[in-house]
Structure 1
Amino acid sequence: MIKTAPKFALILLASLALSACSAGADLASTPAIAATPKPVEVKIIGLNDFHGNIEPIRRPLRFTDDAGQQQQVYAAGAAYLTTAVETYRAKTEHSLTIAAGDLIGGSPLASSIFLDEPAIGAMNRLGLDFNAVGNHEFDRGWKELRRIQEGGCEKHTLRAPCAVENPYPGAEFTFLAANVIMPDGTSLFPGYGMKRFGEGDRAVSVGIIGLTLKDTPTLVTPSGVAGLDFTDEADAINGLIPALEEAGADAIVVTIHQGLTTQAGYNDKSCGGIDGPLLDILARLDPRIDVVISGHTHRAYICQYSAIDPARDFLVTSAGYGGSMLTDITLMIDPASGEVTAKSADNIIIQSVGTDREGNIAAPNPAFPQFAANADVAAYVEMYVAASRDAATRPVGKISGEARDPGPPTEETALGNLIADAQLFATRAAGAQIALMNNSGIRTSLIPAADGTISYGDIYTVQPFGNTLITKSFTGAQLLALLEQQFDDEGLVQTFSPSQGFAMVWDMTAPVGARVVEVTLDGDPVDPAGIYRVTMNSFLAAGGDGFTVFTQGTNTVTGPTDLDGMEAYLQTADIIQLPALGRMIAAQ
C-alpha cells in the first residue's frame, strides 16, 4: 500500500514545469503521455461461523429485510453455498474467499462425528483461500487443529480420525493465527497471507491478517490450549501492517473471530445500534486497513466504520451463521498509487432447497434467489451423511414438546433444565446433588417429530462437543463463589441451567460479588460450611467459560458422556415432560 505520490506523476510534473519555462517550445512535438491505468476490481467473498453445517439448516432463517418486513428462508448447505460463491466470483476477473473462524466445532452430527473432516473437505471444494482461527477451532485441542490443517490420521481425541477418507488430506487453504503464540515465540499458524492479481501495470496485491479473539482460552477446554499465548488483537494486527506494506500490499483485509451486535437489518449499511466487543478493537486499528471481516456473534451486518470514526475508513462485515449468507465485497484498487479508491459490500442470503423435519420440500421464498446445489459438493456431503445416517436417525426417546435453546445467555429454558436433569440422573451413583449446565454450550433447539420422538442426531446437534460428565465435591462457600462468577466482569455474563431441586435468585443491579441473592437446594439455603456434590461437563470442570472455581473441586468422579446421560434419561419414561421454569430467577 503506497501512500506517496507515484513515480510517473512526479516525472509528469517535472516535464510540465520544464515545458512552461522553455521559450518557443513546440507543443505539437511533445511525446504523448501514457494514460493512467484504470482501477482493478477485486472481489472478496466473506464467510464466518460455518460450524460444519455441510447440510442445509432444517429450521428456517428468520430476519427483517431492508424494507422492515419479516422474512423466512430455508438456507445454507455446503453444496448451495459453493454455487453462490462461484456465482459471485464469476462477476469479476480477480477474487478470493476468506473466512473469519469457527469453520469447525459446534457442528451438526454429520460433520462433528467425523471430527469435522467433511467441513474442511467441503471448503476445499468451495475454494476457500484463508480462514482465521476461531475459538471453536480449538475445541479438540491445538494438536488436532494442526492435523486438520496438515492432514493425516494421527489420533488426538477419543474418536478415531479418517473414518471415511483415509488418509484425510488436510485443508488446501491456510489457517491464520496472528495472535496465537507458541512457547518458542512463533505463531501457531501464519499471521498473514498475500494474494496477487494481474500483471505489469495492472498488478495489485491484497494482504490478509487473520486471528482469533484474545479470550479464546476461556471458551475452550483449557488443556487444549495449554502453553499457547493469545495476545491482544489490535496489537497483533497493527504489528503486521509494516510487513504487509513491505511485501507490497495495495489493500489490507483483516479477518478476525470477534464481532458486533446491531439493531439494523442484515444488509443495512447504517451501523445502527452497533455494539459489542469488536468495537474496542476497531477503535485502535491502523487506518490503513480497508476491510474487517468478523464473526463470533452469529449476527449479520455491514458497517461503514467511517460513520463512527472518520479517521478509519474501513468496512466491517459479518455473514451471520452456518453458511446461511455470504458477504460480497468489492474493492477498486488503483494499481499506480496502490490505493483502494472505492469499496462496497452486500450480504447475500443462501436460499437452498429446504425440507422440514419430516423431509417434505419447503416452498422457496420468491423474494430471494434460490441457488442450485453444486453436484460435486453435494455428492461429497452425501458420502458423509450416509456414513452418519444410522447413528443420526436412531430414536432415543420422546419429549412432550419443543424445547427451545436459550436466546440471551441469562435466559432460563426448559431445554437447559432438561439437560441438567439428565446430567443429575446420570451421575446420582457418584453422589451428585446438583448439576449445572452452561447455556453457551447448548447449540440449538430440541424439536421432536410429531409423535414426540427424538433421535440421537437431535441430541447430538444440541450438545456436539463430546464432553464427559464430571462430579466433584465443593464447600457451600465454593459453590456460592462459583455462582457469583456467572455475573462477574470476566468474560460473558451467563447463568447456569440447574437441575431439579436447585433454585437461585440474582440481581444484576447489585455490586459484583454480591449479585447472588438467594440459593436453595430442595428448599434449604446452601450452607457455606456444608459439602455438596456437583456435576458439570468436562469443559466446565476444566474452568471453561471462565468458571475457574470448578477446578477447585475434590473427590472427582468421571461419569458417562453427556449424550449417553441424556439418552439414558430419555428412556426413563414413555414421554419425558419438559421441566417447568423458575429455577433461575432475576430479582424484580
Structure 2
Amino acid sequence: MPASTQPQREGRRARRLLAAAAGLATVGALTAALPAAAGESHHGKGGKHQDERSRYQDVQLLSFNDLHGNLEPPSGSSGRVTETQADGTTKTVDAGGVEYLATHLRQARKGNAYSITAAGGDMVGASPLISGLFHDEPTIEALNKLDLDVTSVGNHEFDEGAKELARLQKGGCHPTDGCYVEGKKFQGADFPYLAANVLDEKSGKPVLAPYWVWKKNGVKVGFIGVTLENTPGVVSAEGVKGLKFKDEVETIDKYAKVLQKQGVKSIVALIHEGGAPASSSYNYDCDAPGAGDGISGPIVDIAENVSPMVDALVTGHTHNAYVCTIDDPAGKPRMVTSAASFGRLYTDTTLTYDRRTGDIARTAVKSANHVVTRDVPKAPDMTSLIGKWNALAAPIGNRAVGHISGDIGTAGTESPLGDLIADAQLAYGKELDPETDLAFMNPGGIRTGLTYAASGSEGDGVVTYAEGFAVQPFANTVNLKDITGEQLIKVLQEQVSGANAASPKVLQISSGLTYTLDLTKSGAERVVADSVRLNGAAIDPSATYRVAMNSFLAGGGDGFTTLGQGTNELVGEDDLAALTDYLTANSSAADPIEPPAADRITVVR
C-alpha cells in the first residue's frame, strides 16, 4: 500500500544521536501491443549495441524507485518479492541490498553501449539507521557508485525541507551535525535531482532542475521529473514550507514542449506517483488477454492525459511492481513501469531510437522487471561503503532496547505493531500529562515490523536501537492535544472518507479504545459511531479527551484535518524514544513482550 509519510525535522537526528550515545531470474518481458515497425528486425535482443550506421538504435533504460536508503538487504517481507510460476502458483524470493543491486545493474549494462540509469524518487527518507542517522549521505554515495544518471524527487526528498535537499544535491557538511568523517566534506550527488513541479513560492521557479538530457553519438533522450501534487498532504508543513506543488500532467506537458523546441523528441517522464496492479506478483502481465483492468490508481489518469510527446513513464510511490502499457491521449500504447521498492527490483526497458526522426519507435519498446536476487557476488565497493558507515553507526545501533517473544508485524487493518506503538505513545503521553486518554498512530508512519530472529549478534528476540529506528525513522515528536468526543468520532470517520475515501488510512489505536469498522457500507458510515468506546464507556460528544499523536498527525497530515484543529497542544520529545523507552520498561529477556492481539477494531467485511 502507499506509504504515508512524515517529516524528519532538521537537527532532530543529531539530538537522537547524542541521546543514544549517552545512554531470480528475469521474467515477465512485456512488449507494446503493436507489431514491430518495418526495418526493426535487425535489433539486438534486450537492447544490445547496434551498428552506428543503422537507422534504429536501441537505448537501454534501467530504472528503480523508492529505495528509501535501504543499503543493506531489507528484512522480513520488505526483503521479498512474489513471483508467479508457470503453473500459476506463487513463491517468494529474497531480494534487495545495494551490494546485489550494483552487481545486477553492472551485469545488465554489459553489451549495451547506450545505457541510461534513472530513478523515480524517494531515494532517501524513511531510511534505516545506517543511512538515516547520517541524513542519507551514505545513500547518495551509494547512488553515485551505482552510476545513477538522473532521478525525480519524491515526497520523502522533502522530509527535511528544500535546503537539506539542495545540500544532498550540491554537497557540503550538515549545518548542525557537521562532517561525519574528520577532514572529509560530503560531495553531494553526481546525478541531477529533477523537480519540475516543485516551485519556490516567492520566485515561482522550480527549486531544482526541471529536466535533463542524455546524449551520445547524436542520440538524445530527455527526462522530466515530478513528484505527486499532493506532497503537502503527506509531508509536514515544515518540510514543504515555502514550496508550491503543481499538477503533474500540466507540468510534464509544459516541459515536453520545451524539450521539443530544443530538438529533443525522445522523452521519458520520471513521476513519483503510482498505481496498484491487479496482482502482487512482480512478473504479473497486466496486458495479457483477459487481465481486464491490470492497473488502477492515480498513475492511470496521469498516463492517459500526459502528452503523446512523452514516450515512457517511470513511476513510483506506491511501492508496487508493474510493467504495463496505458494508451496516451492519441490512443497509442505507452509503457508505464514501477520496480516496487527498497531495491528489490529493477526495470530494464528497451527504447528504440529512430535516428531519422529523433523519436522513440514506440512499437518496439520492451520492458521487464528483474529481481535483485542475492545469489550473485556482492559488489566490493558497496560492501566497503556499508562497512564504513556501519562502523560509525554501530555503537548506537547495536544497543539493546527491548525483548519480544515473536515477530510483531504490520499486516492487517489493525496491526500488532500499530497497537504496540500506540500503547507506547499513550504511556509517554501519560508521563507528560496524567490526564491523557488515548493515542493515535498513522499506519504509513510504521515502516517495517519487528522480527524475532536476530539480524546480527544480538540474539533472537532482542530489539536493537537500529531495529527501532527502522520502524520509526521520521524523528517526529509525540504531541498532546484536546479534542471533543464529537471530533474524536469525526477523526475516525476521516479514516474512510474525504481525502481517504478511495484509499482508507486506518489509524492504529491504543488500548482501551474500541469500535466497529463496517466495510460493507460506504464513506463515513463505515465507522459505526455508536460502537466507539473508551474503556468500555460510550464516547460523550461534548466531553474533552486528551489525545497523544505524532507531530505529523497533529498538523493534520494524511487527511486528518480534525486532529489539526485540536487545542491545548503540548509538544513532547522524539517518537522513537517513546517506543524504545516503552520496550525497555516493559520487557526483559525473561519476560519479553508478546505480539499484541490486534483486536481493538472489529472489522465487518
Q: 3-state DSSP class of the match of 2:331?
A: coil
Give the counterpart letter for 1:217 in structure 2.
Answer: P
Structure 1 residue 339 displacement after superposition: 2.8
Cα offsets for 1:378-423 (capped at 9, x unmatched): 211210112112222211111222111135xxx1111110110111
State how far apart, in whole Å, the 1-side matches of 2:578 and 2:61 are: 45
TM-score (norm 1): 0.86
Structure 2: distance between partners of 1:36 and 1:164: 50
- Tell whether the 8 Å contact from 2:235 to 2:557 is kept in structure 1 after alignment: yes
* CA deviation profile, 1:41-78 (whole Å, cap 9, x unmatched): 21111110111011122334141235234233322222
Give the match's secondary structure for 1:43. Answer: strand
Take 2:81 and 2:352, find their aligned partners in 1: how far apart are those partners?
33
Task: Give the alignment partner of residue 145 of structure 2, picking from 125, 149, 152.
Answer: 125
1:316 aligns with 2:324: no
* 1: CA distance, partners of 2:181 / 2:515: 47
What SS does the aligned partner of 1:85 have?
A: helix
> Which deviations, in whole Å up to 9, do the C-alpha atoms of 1:248-291 show, x marking residues without a partner?
21311011011111124423443343111111111111112211
Amino acid at match of 2:283: N
> How many angstroms does 1:509 deviate by?
4.7
Alignment check: 8 A CA contact 2:277 2:286 kept: no
1:299 match = 320
Conservation of the 8 A alpha-carbon contact between 1:470 and 1:558: yes
Q: Does structure 1 conserve the Cα–Cα contact (< 8 Å) formed by 2:497 and 2:504?
A: yes
- Aligned to 1:131, the other structure's residue is in SS state strand
> CA contact under 8 A between 2:282 and 2:321: conserved in structure 1?
yes
Aligned residue for 2:301?
Answer: 280
Contact residue 305 and residue 329 of structure 2 kept, 8 A: no
AA at the equivalent of 2:553: L
Is 1:556 the counterpart of 2:558? The answer is no
**Is 1:447 matched with 2:451?**
yes
1:170 and 1:38 map into 2 onto residues whose CA distance is 38
1:437 to 417, 434, 441: 441
Per the alignment, residue 476 of structure 1 pairs with 485
Residue in structure 1 matched with residue 523 of structure 2 by the alignment: 512
Instruction: After TM superposition, list the pairs within 5 Å mapping 1:401-416 onto structure 2.
Output: 401-406=406-411, 411-416=413-418
Identify the residue that residue 10 of structure 2 maps to in structure 1. Answer: none
What's the Cα RMSD here? 2.0
Tell me the secondary structure at the aligned position of residue 487 of structure 1.
Answer: coil
CA distance in 2 between partners of 1:225 and 1:451 (Å): 41
What SS class does the counterpart of residue 304 from structure 1 fall into?
Answer: strand
Matched, 1:579 2:593: no
My pick for the range that moved more, 135-144 or 61-70, is: 61-70
Deviation at 1:234, TM superposition (A): 0.8
* Contact 1:290–1:313 (Cα < 8 Å) also in 2: no
8 Å CA contact retained: 2:404, 2:587: no
Q: Which residue of 2 aligns with 1:88?
A: 108
- 2:505 is aligned to 494
Give the Cα separation in 2 of the matches to 1:554 and 1:144: 31
Q: Is the 8 A contact 1:421 1:435 kept in 2?
A: yes
- Correspondence 1:462 to 2:471: yes
Q: Distance in 1 between matches of 2:359 and 2:253?
A: 18
Is the Cα contact below 8 Å between 1:398 and 1:453 reproduced in 2?
yes
Residue of structure 2 in register with 1:267 after alignment:
283
CA distance in 2, matches of 1:75, 1:415: 23
Equivalent-residue separation in structure 2 for 1:154 and 1:462 (angstroms): 24
Classify the secondary structure of the residue corresponding to 1:210: strand
Name the amino acid aligned to 2:137.
Answer: E
Q: Which residue of structure 2 lines up, in the alignment, with residue 41 of structure 1?
A: 58
2:444 corresponds to which letter in structure 1?
S
Corresponding residue of 1:423: 425
Number of the residue aligned with 1:206? 221
Q: What code does the residue aligned with 1:181 have? A: L
Unaligned runs of 5+ in 1: 1-34, 353-369
Structure 1 residue 348 corresponds to structure 2 residue 367: no
- Provide the C-alpha distance between the structure 1 equivalents of 2:542 and 2:471, rounded to a whole number of angstroms: 36
SS at 1:578 equivalent: coil
Equivalent AA in structure 1 for residue 312 of structure 2: V
Which whole-Å CA distance do the structure 2 matches of 1:41 and 1:283 have between them? 25
Within a 5 Å distance, the mapping from 1:226-245 to structure 2 comes to: 226-245=241-260
SS at match of 2:274: coil
Residues 451 and 43 of structure 1, relative CA distance in 2, 3 Å threshold:
closer
Does the alignment pair 1:380 with 2:379? no
SS at match of 2:187: coil
1:498 Cα offset (Å) = 0.5
* Counterpart-to-counterpart distance in 2, 1:375 and 1:511: 54
Report what 2:161 is aligned to: 141
Query: Deviations along 1:507-537, whole A, 9 cap, x unmatched?
Result: 3454534432121111111111111110001
Q: Letter of the 1:194 partner, please give it.
A: V
Q: Match for 2:355: what amino acid?
A: P
| CA distance in 2 between partners of 1:309 and 1:144 (Å) | 38
For residue 391 of structure 2, what is the amino acid of its counterpart? A
Q: Which amino acid aligns with 1:267?
A: N
- Cα distance in structure 2, aligned partners of 1:551 and 1:267: 42
Equivalent residues of 2:150, 2:194 under 8 A apart: yes
1:217-264: CA deviations, max 9, x gaps? Answer: 111111210221111111111111111111121311011011111124
CA pair 58-414 structure 1, distance change in 2 beyond 3 A: closer
Q: 1:16 is matched with which residue?
A: none
Is it true that 1:116 corresponds to 2:136 in the alignment? yes
Q: Secondary structure at the match of 2:495?
A: helix
Q: How many residues align?
A: 526
Q: Which residue number corresponds to residue 8 of structure 2?
A: none
Instruction: Measure, in 1, the Cα distance between the counterparts of 2:98 and 2:83.
Output: 24
CA contact (8 A) 2:93 2:373 kept: yes
Residue identity matched to 2:368: D
Aligned counterparts of 2:84 and 2:391: Cα–Cα separation in 1: 36
CA distance in 2, matches of 1:562, 1:36: 61
Amino acid of the residue matched to residue 384 of structure 2? A
Residue in structure 1 matching 2:97, options 74, 77, 82:
77
Is 1:171 aligned with 2:192? Answer: no
Quick one: distance in 1 between partners of 2:135 and 2:285?
37
Query: Is the 8 Å Cα contact of residues 181 and 187 (structure 1) preserved in structure 2?
Result: yes
SS in 2 for 1:225: coil
Q: Which has the larger radius of gyration?
A: 1
Distance change in 2, residues 1:85/1:185 (3 Å): same
List aligned pairs for 1:144-223, cutoff 5 A: 144-155=164-175, 160-164=177-181, 166-183=184-201, 184-198=203-217, 203-223=218-238
Moved more, 41-50 or 80-89: 80-89
Structure 2 counterpart of 1:10: none
Partner of 1:11: none
Structure 1: how far apart are the matches of 2:560 and 2:150? 33
**Matched residue of 1:222: which SS?**
coil
CA offset at residue 80 of structure 1?
A: 1.7
Flag the 1:281–1:66 CA change in 2: closer, same or farther, 3 A: farther
CA distance in 1, matches of 2:80, 2:171: 34
Question: In the aligned structure 1, how far is the partner of 2:597 from the partner of 2:89?
Answer: 34
Structure-1 separation of matches of 2:162 and 2:321: 28
CA shift digits 1:526-577 (9 cap, x unpaired): 1111111100011111222121222222222222312211122112243223
Report the residue type matching 1:162 in the other structure. C
Q: Report deviation, 1:310.
A: 7.1
What is the letter of the counterpart of residue 234 of structure 1?
V
Amino acid of the residue matched to residue 567 of structure 1? T
Of all paired residues, the percent bearing the same amino acid is 39
CA contact (8 A) 1:420 1:437 kept: yes
Give the whole-Å Cα distance in 1 for the aligned partners of 2:81 and 2:54: 45
